Amino acid sequence: MDVVEILFTASFWVAAIRIASPLIFATMGELICERAGVLNLGIEGIMTAGAFAGWFTVYAGGDLWTGVAVAALAGAMFGLLHATLTVPLGLSQHVVGIGVTLLATSLTYFTYRLALPEVTSPPKIDAFQPLPIPGLSKIPVIGEALFAQTPLTYLAFVTVALVVWLLYRTPLGLAIRAAGENPSAVEAQGISVTAIRIGAVMAGSALMAIGGAFLTMSAFNSFFFGMINGRGWICIALVVFGSWRPGKALLGAILFAAFDAYQVRLQQITGGVVPYQIFLMMPYALSILALILVARRATYPKALMIPYQKGER
């Protein structure tokens, strides 16, 4: 198979969209947090917690969608912790975020060990299965990539639409965007900046957790250590890449996933001539390049990372 030909195969695009799905959830989550003015570096740990919570619910006999809900709830709880420390208390968002990541990751591994002490190879669950949409899934290449995926992938795309609607079409969205730009504008209109920011961080964290749950419930079908593997950090970069706009961030996620799917296939055809680590590195190197090209002129939310204290001058 030729280096260029890969790009026209359906399996490549199917893989790209599947790889993109968890990134889309988590990127939307991070974007909501940052639009309200809070950088949530807890993302990596929250995804880990979500991955475990969703998987374990199903492993323990729960329904798949209950698993998704439990993951979201777990995410929201870590979000509440993050928000409590960064919003009313105004602590450093960097330090709290890294703390939440470490706490959520360790707590998850600890719980996993407690729940399954004897396990050597990670047990599998009956995960989400592809659900082809009649008619649409028969379109060549695109049909298979977009309309023969699991329900969680569809949910990822619906989430993007909902986030766009929320931010740009609803009264609440106005308040969220204003809180990230100029919190005193929100306060002057009689709205609590604290409430808006806590809410945004909790909702955003819930989405991050669902992104993590996608990996255990719609991709690998089991939970293992180190499975998030930096995906959360990628989502932080994707928000910047997307200039804090959901549509552009979605494109970024798909682009990154496409690089990732591409490098796997390149490894196969070059067959050992080039060290495979070069290919593994490729998506990240290209991401940095894309960031340099795209995000330099980005207009970021002006109050991002600035704690708001009522009445301070």
Partner 1 sequence: MPALQEEKPTANAQDEGAPVVLRLDGVTKRFGPLVANDAISFDLKRGEVIALLGENGAGKTTLMNILFGHYVADEGSVEAFGRALPPGDPRAALDAGIGMVHQHFTLADNMSVLENIALGTQSFWKARFDRASARRRIAELSGAFGLAVDPEAMVASLSVGERQRVEILKALYRDAHVLILDEPTAVLTPAETDALFHTLKLLVGQGLAIIFISHKLNEVMAVSDRVLVLRSGRLAGERIIAQTTRHELASLMVGQEVTPPPVPPVITGPSLLVMEKVSTVRQANATPLDNITLSLHSGEITGLAGVSGNGQAALAGLLSGTEVPLSGNYSVQGEPVGRDWSPAVALAGGIARIPEDRHAVGTIGDMSVTENVIAERYHTERFSRAGFLDWAAARKFAEEIIADYDVKCPSPDARIRLLSGGNMQKLILGRALDPEPVIILANQPTRGLDVGAVGYVHGKLLEARSRGAAVLLISEDLEEILALSDRILVISKGRLSTPSARGERSVHELGQLMAGHGEEGRAA
Applying CB under 8 A, which residues contact partner 1?
Answer: 169-175, 177-178, 181-182, 184-191, 299, 301-302, 310-311, 313
CA 42 to chain centre: 11
The residue (of 188 and 280) whose beta carbon lies closer to partner 1 is 188
Measured CA distances, 113 to 12, 108, 109, 185, 190 (Å)? 36, 9, 6, 48, 48
Amino acid at 142: I
As a whole number of angstroms, the distance between CA 207 and CA 68 comes to: 10
Among residues 45 and 301, whose Cβ is nearest to partner 1? 301
- Taking a C-beta distance cutoff of 8 angstroms, is the pair 306, 257 a contact? no
Minimum Å gap between C-beta 270 and partner 1 is: 46
Residue 289: CB minimum distance to partner 1, A? 27
Cβ at position 260, least distance to partner 1 in Å: 32
Q: How far is the CB of 159 from partner 1 (least distance, A)?
A: 16
CB under 8 A, 24+ apart: contacts of 176-182: 176/32, 176/35, 176/36, 176/200, 177/35, 177/301, 179/36, 179/37, 179/303, 179/308, 180/34, 180/35, 180/36, 180/37, 180/301, 180/302, 180/303, 180/304, 181/37, 181/301, 181/302, 181/303, 182/302, 182/303
Task: Choose between 178 and 208: whose C-beta lies nearer to partner 1.
Answer: 178
In terms of CB distance, is 118 or 297 closer to partner 1?
A: 297
| Beta carbons of 44 and 105 less than 8 angstroms apart | yes
**Rounded distance, CA 223 to CA 228, Å?**
10
Q: Least Å distance between CB 187 and partner 1?
A: 6
Whichever of 15 and 191 has its CB closer to partner 1, that residue is 191
Residue with smaller CB distance to partner 1, 124 or 302? 302
Q: How far is the CB of 312 from partner 1 (least distance, A)?
A: 10
Report how far apart, in Å, the C-alpha atoms of 180 and of each of 151, 166, 199, 302 are: 32, 15, 13, 7
Considering the complex, state which of residue 26 and residue 175 has its C-beta at the smaller distance from partner 1: 175
Q: From the CB of 192, what's the least distance to partner 1, in Å?
A: 8
What is the Cα–Cα distance from 197 to 34, expressed in whole angstroms? 9
